[in-house]
C-alpha cells in the first residue's frame, strides 16, 4: 500500500479563521513533507519532518504551523491566512528521508477569501 491520504479535499476559509489540514500514511515512513502548489506552477517545499522532528522549514510565514503528533500523522495549522495563500497543499512521505522515493497525497485545495 503506497497511499497517503489528506483531508479535507477542499477548504474555503476567511482571513480570520483557524483551520487545519491533515495528512496520514500507514506505510511505516519516517519522513513527511508539506508542499504548496500555486496554479500552473510546480510544487514548492514548505516543511520536512524526520522521525517526528521538524528538520527543514523553508522560511514559511508563521501563519502556517506544522505539527507531527506521531509517525503516521502530519498536520498543518492555518491561522490568519491571506488570499495569496490560496493553493493546492500537498503532503508526501518517504521511508527515511533523503535519496528515497517520495509518495504524494491527493492534496487539499485551499481558497482564502
Q: How far is the CB of 98 from other proteins (least distance, A)?
A: 4
Using CA atoms, how far residue 108 sits from 20, 98, 99, in Å, is 11, 25, 26
Q: How far is the CB of 80 from other proteins (least distance, A)?
A: 25
Residue 93: beta bridge partners? 32, 103
Among 5, 57, 96, 101, binds other proteins (CB under 8 A): 101
For other proteins, the binding residues in 19-78 under the rule CB under 8 A are 33, 37, 41-45, 48, 56, 58
State the Cα angle at 12 between 11 and 18, rounded to 5°.
85
Q: Is 108 helix (H, G, I), strand (E, B) or coil?
A: strand
Cβ proximity to other proteins: between 50 and 65 the closer is 50
Total site size for other proteins, rule CB under 8 A: 25
Of 47, 34, 48, 49, nearest in space to 87 by CA = 34
Binding residues for other proteins, rule: CB under 8 A, are 2, 33, 37, 41-45, 48, 56, 58, 88, 90, 92, 97-104, 106-107, 109
Amino acid at each position: 500500500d503506497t497511499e497517503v491520504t489528506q483531508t479535507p479535499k477542499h477548504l474555503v476559509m476567511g482571513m480570520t479563521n483557524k483551520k487545519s489540514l491533515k495528512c496520514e500514511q500507514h506505510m511505516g515512513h519516517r519522513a513527511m513533507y508539506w508542499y504548496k502548489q500555486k496554479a500552473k506552477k510546480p510544487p514548492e517545499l514548505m516543511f520536512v519532518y524526520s522521525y517526528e522532528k521538524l528538520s527543514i522549514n523553508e522560511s514559511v510565514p508563521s501563519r502556517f504551523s506544522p505539527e507531527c503528533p506521531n509517525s503516521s500523522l502530519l498536520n498543518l495549522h492555518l491561522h490568519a491566512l491571506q488570499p495569496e495563500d490560496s493553493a493546492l497543499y500537498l503532503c508526501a512521505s518517504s521511508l527515511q528521508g533523503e535519496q528515497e522515493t517520495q509518495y504524494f497525497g491527493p492534496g487539499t485545495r485551499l481558497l482564502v477569501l
